[in-house]
A and B are shown apart, each in its own frame.
Chain A
Amino acid sequence: MTLQDLIFKLSEYWGGHGCVIQQPLDIEVGAGTMSPETFLRVLGPEPWNVAYVQPSRRPADGRFGENPNRLFKHHQFQVILKPAPDDIQQVYLQSLEACGIDLRAHDIRFEEDNWESPTLGAWGIGWQVLFDGLEITQFTYFQQAGGIELAPISVELTYGLERLAMVLQRVDNVFDLVWGAGVKYREARWRDEVEQSKYAFGQVEGLSREAFAAFHRELFDRYYAFAESLLAGGLVIPAYEHCLKCSHLFNVLDACGGIGVTERTAYILRVRQLAVAIAQAYTQPATPTAPEPLPAAD
């Protein structure tokens, strides 16, 4: 099964289980959790079922295309079900079957692995799902997001698409995966990985590390201040998007060694404060609701 077939299968499966199939967020994020489709939608009481692919950038994991398992940018298939159905573990296992995995020929286990995002003020209880010892999914019952206690509880399923595809295609190197249409992951992604890794670690010819870090630091501050203005102006979703910009810039600064230990904690705290304020604003009753369609004229 190619990587793109895997995406089709999972989309079809979860679409068939009542999920809206969303498109990836068009902003740099480290995980599908950060998309407003997850972070904002798990807040408040309204039911919400959604699934989407999220390209996820982890600057510190960049390996210049040389490591068979680690990537600057990998792909997650993210599912949010709110409220979490009683039979969700079973439904999840069936999604693996839908991808062609014979559950009776492999060892599939749910091992404790709670999830926490200090920058988002979010945490949850759950497991990593191990497939013959390999983590293929993070399974989390969200308890808190943006510092807000959640009710009802959402379940988040995050499939590591590359990991899963490597299992299905039985390859040892991510770059040997078949993406689709006869194209290998190497052709689709390798150059991107090499250049993005250099970027992430601040290895830019003709540009000093200091200048690199200073630029990102300045961007962080400007986006941060702008996010606060947007929030003050009542534009919650744009404010959140600018908060995500800050989060990504922080990740770049962290990867390139542009921040010290003490400073690091301060950055995390600042992003969290913003995320918490945004989550609170989002759940205010003033949130505009979509207009009802006009009654049809006779």
Chain B
Amino acid sequence: MERELLLEIGCEELPASWLTPLAGQLAERLTARLREFRLASDAEAETHATPRRLAAVVPRIAERQSDHEELVSGPPAAAAFRDGQPTPAALGFARKYGVEVAALERVTTPKGEYLAYRARHRGRAAADILPDVLAATLRDLSFPKQMRWDAWIDDGRGELLFGRPIRWLLFLYGGRVVPFTIRRSPLAQSASVQDVRSGAVTHGHRLLAVSGRAGRAVKVRSFQDYKARLAEHFVILARRERQDRLVRELELHARRLGGRVHASAHASAGPLAEVADLVEYPSVVAGTYSAEFLQLPQEVLTTTMIHHQHYFPVVDDRGRLMPAFLAVTNIEVDNTRKIAVNSERVLTARLRDARFFWDADRATRLEDRLDRLDTVRFHRALGSYRDKARRLERLAATVAESLGAPEAAADAARAGLLAKTDLTTDMVREFTELQGTMGGIYAREQGEPDPVWRAIYHHYQPASIDADAEPSRESLGSAAAVWAAVSVADKLDSVVGLFGAGERPTGTRDPFAIRRQVQGVLKVLVDLPEVTGLTAAVDVGPLLAGAAAGYPDGTLAEFDEDLQTFVRDRVKYVFQQRGFRPEEIEAVLGATGVALAPLDLRHRLEALAGMRGSQDFAALAVLFKRVKNIAREVSPVPQPAYEARLDRSRLVEPAEQALLQAFDRVAPAMREAVAARHYRKAMAEAATLRPAVDRFFTEVFVMVEDAALRASRLMLMVSVRDLVLEVADISQLGGA
């Protein structure tokens, strides 16, 4: 007989951003613990989270644990009997388990034959085991930040930390309460601080009820019943349903205002997702603000509404902000006016602050803020942002040249110099998430040319390594090259400086987000043609050296190799995230003389991925492993001189001739293709070597006695190896 398990952990309000991960953890940990405790179920755990509850249901769990056998080894068989009689060792072992020696078995292990006892454990009733499952599951849940609340469990592990205090536990198996207690510490235990005991009740919405006292205990029998009771008591359990209701309400209210909800609401990780987890019963209240605030930059308005108040801006049919907003509430009221008035008051106060900052900040030009940057520290060992501004001015210009855009150098220098000055503005002090954005806007306001202000505006981007991460080519326009130079220069400067200051990331510790900054540089370089129209395949190595030149002598010297390795790892990460296989990445990084130039590597990888369907190429990859192994006799690493030492006069066998001819045909075509970065063509050329290489291995024995002949054959192998390595080390792809 199988029965339903229902668990609800009733908490005080859990942070919104935790809910989805917690629901995932609960499903995963509960399933794992049930398996560990041998409570079989063919059904998945379904879990839910709202601000005040974590819930799980497993539709069918066996009534008893599965039986369990265990083989316990005893004395060696050789020592167990003497003259056919059991020895004291054997008798003692049998006695220990309360059986006759005759009931023992023999097992053969690598160390020899042993006596053994087969212990059979009868499964215990599920109801007796489930408290242990719950204790273990509660311990398993992890939180970004956990708290002490004078609680502990009788599982031998003492205090129970949790995300927020647990106020009730609904814990039913087959409709009956499974007893479980979270104890409270003796210091806290009192009339107002009591143990939390599992029961058959849940609690609805804190403040809403159709009848009776809101938030009172509600008896529950099953998951179906539980969901229905919660719905009656104004709790929408499923996050999807909360979000759907929210979207419907938002759209309805926006239409009534004659507009629609600002696009940011629909971004995947946007405010919608967050707000749906801030409430158990979402409703929407519409408010307005004075149209005079529309003079503020749109970014300031949306940031104030979305990030500071969780309000949704409303736009008209042309996408322009209307002086209206939608606030999501956790309550349903007949008259929303009171809530709207208060919300309007809060927003107006914030916008008034913002307008004050907007007016005050514009009174000082950005270049006049440079001196104030002296008081903003970049890093303990690396000085102030004033120092950084000086470095960026120079570095952004040189990066522009490296990117093949010398005409952008002057604007890049200007943008680099001013990029950080917004850190001294009141607006950015209040709305830190607007750093860069505000700098760009203030630069525009003071008449900086388009490329300069746009480069400042976007210089913290890209924020991710996705190919379509902002900024897009459209949003950059003519500023694309300047932006790329400033964005890359800013990140390089930080990476090099912080590495030199000993802030190299370790494990999960990366307080300065160095990994992300390196990835940002790589993203810009990988997608350079799409975003900027520039086609230079820029090597990261010299860029890092250029950044180091901005610091006092010796900053780079000590960690150069470390940093190269670090960047190489990031390169691998970026391409893996882009869907390339690890062995493909190793293959292109193994090409002869390949630079750490993300765009060049991307082209090679795309070519390689394009060859996945070619049988000749796949076969060549396998053969290439042999080629490399034999060529190692001469040298493990390629050298241009080897090919010149190829003694053609000695290679007279038909198979040798065939390979030589193939080589002579392929080499120039392939090299021409590599030089032109037509890697697909180069690889296709290489693939045509396959029949000749194959035949060579079938018909020719390389390691002959004749030293001169052996040397000639080896040199042919070396030449083939070195040729193929110019495009990629395809031996990595060989597989078996």
Binding site for B on A (CB under 8 A): 45, 47, 68-69, 83-87, 89-90, 93, 103-112, 114, 125, 127, 131-134, 141, 143, 149-153, 167, 170, 172, 260-262
Residues of B contacting A262 in the complex (Cβ-Cβ under 8 angstroms): 377, 380
Contacts of A150 in B (CB 8 A): 148
B187 contact from A90, A131, A151, Cβ within 8 A: A151
B16 contacts A by Cβ under 8 Å: yes
Q: Give the size category of B's interface with A.
A: 35 or more
**B12 and A110 contacting across the interface, CB-CB below 8 Å:** yes
Instruction: Say yes or no: A105-B147 contact (C-beta < 8 A), given A83-B190, A86-B193, A133-B309.
Output: no
The CA of A152 and the CA of B150, in the complex, are separated in Å by: 6
Minimum distance in angstroms from A30 CB to a CB of chain B? 19
Question: Closest CB of chain A to B13's CB: distance in Å?
Answer: 4
5 example contacts (A-B, Cβ-Cβ < 8 A) are as follows: A86-B194, A104-B207, A132-B343, A132-B346, A261-B375
Closest B residue, CB atoms, query A18: B192
List the A side residues contacting B12 at CB < 8 Å: 89, 110
CB of B87 within 8 Å of the partner chain: no
Whether the pair B193, A85 counts as a contact (CB closer than 8 A) is yes
**Given known A-B contacts A109-B278, A134-B345, A260 and B375 have beta carbons under 8 A apart:** yes
Q: Taking A68-B349, A107-B331 as given, write out 11 further A-B residue pairs in contact, using a Cβ cutoff of 8 Å, ordered by the A residue number.
A: A104-B208, A105-B335, A107-B339, A111-B13, A132-B343, A133-B343, A149-B148, A152-B150, A152-B188, A170-B341, A260-B375
Contact B150 A125 (CB under 8 A): no
Q: Nearest chain A CB to B371's CB is how many angstroms away?
A: 13
Closest to A87 in B: B192
Residue B167 interfacial (CB < 8 Å): yes
Given known A-B contacts A107-B331, A134-B346, A261 and B13 have beta carbons under 8 A apart: no
CA distance A281 to B345 in the complex (A): 47
B338 partner, pick from A106, A108, A143, beta carbons under 8 A: A106
CB contacts (< 8 Å) of B688 on chain A: these are none
Contact check, B327 vs A133: say whether CB atoms are below 8 A apart.
Answer: yes
Question: Does B376 touch A at the CB level, under 8 Å?
Answer: yes
10 A-B pairs closest in CB distance: A132-B342, A85-B192, A112-B15, A107-B329, A152-B188, A83-B188, A110-B13, A125-B147, A152-B187, A261-B377
Which of A125, A143, A152 sits near B185, CB closer than 8 Å? A152
Alpha-carbon gap, A87 to B12, bound state (A): 10
In angstroms, how far is the closest chain B Cβ from the Cβ of A108? 7
Task: Report the separation of the CA atoms of residues A182 and B420 in the bound assembly, to the nearest whole angstrom.
Answer: 51
Expressed in whole angstroms, the minimum distance between the Cβ of B466 and any Cβ of chain A is 28
B431: interface (CB < 8 Å): no
Q: Which residues of A contact B142 (CB under 8 A)?
A: none
Measured between beta carbons, the chain B residues less than 8 angstroms from A149 are 148
B residues whose Cβ falls under 8 Å from a Cβ of A: 12-13, 15-16, 51, 145, 147-150, 164-165, 167, 185, 187-188, 190, 192-194, 206-208, 214-215, 278-279, 285, 309-311, 327, 329-331, 333, 335, 338-339, 341-343, 345-349, 352-353, 375-377, 380, 384
**Residue numbers in B under 8 Å from A141 (CB-CB):** 147, 149, 165
B207-A103 in contact (CB<8A):
yes
Known: A105-B338, A141-B149. A83 touches B193 (CB 8 A): yes
Contacts of B384 in A (CB 8 A): 261
Q: Give every chain B residue within 8 A of A261 (Cβ-Cβ).
A: 375-377, 384
Q: Which residues of A contact B192 (CB under 8 A)?
A: 83, 85-87
User: Which B residues are in CB contact (< 8 Å) with A68?
Assistant: 349, 352
- Which residues of A lie under 8 Å from residue B347 when comparing CB positions? 133
- Contacts A83-B190, A125-B147; is A108 near B207 (CB within 8 Å)? yes
Partner of A84, one of B193, B214, B345, B353: B193
Complex Cα spacing A85 to B51, Å: 20
A141 and chain B: residue at smallest CB distance: B147
Residues of B within 8 A of A69 (CB): 349, 353
Give A83 to B208 CA distance when docked, in angstroms: 29
Q: How far is the CB of A134 from chain B (nearest CB, A)?
A: 5
- Report how far A69 CA is from B190 CA in the complex, Å: 41
Complex Cα gap A112–B12 (Å) = 11
Contact B150–A153 (Cβ < 8 Å): yes
Is A151 touching B185 in the complex (CB atoms < 8 A)?
yes
Give CA–CA (A69, B214) in the complex, Å.
34
Contacts of B145 in A (CB 8 A): 114, 125
Question: With A and B bound together, what is the CA distance between A153 and B192 in angstroms?
Answer: 13
Establish whether residues B207 and A151, one from each chain, have CB atoms under 8 Å apart when the complex forms. Answer: no
State whether A86 and B346 are in contact (beta carbons under 8 Å apart), knowing that A45-B187, A112-B15 are contacts in the complex.
Answer: no
Decide: A151 near B150, CB < 8 A? Known: A83-B188, A141-B165. yes
Instruction: Tell me, in angstroms, the Cα distance from A105 to B332 when the chains sit together.
Output: 8
How far is A205 from B309 in the complex, measured between Cα atoms in Å? 41
Alpha-carbon gap, A262 to B327, bound state (A): 41
Q: Which residues does chain A contribute within 8 Å of B279, judged by CB atoms?
A: 109
For the complex, give the distance between the alpha carbons of A131 and B207 in Å.
13
Report chain A residues within 8 Å CB of B164: 125
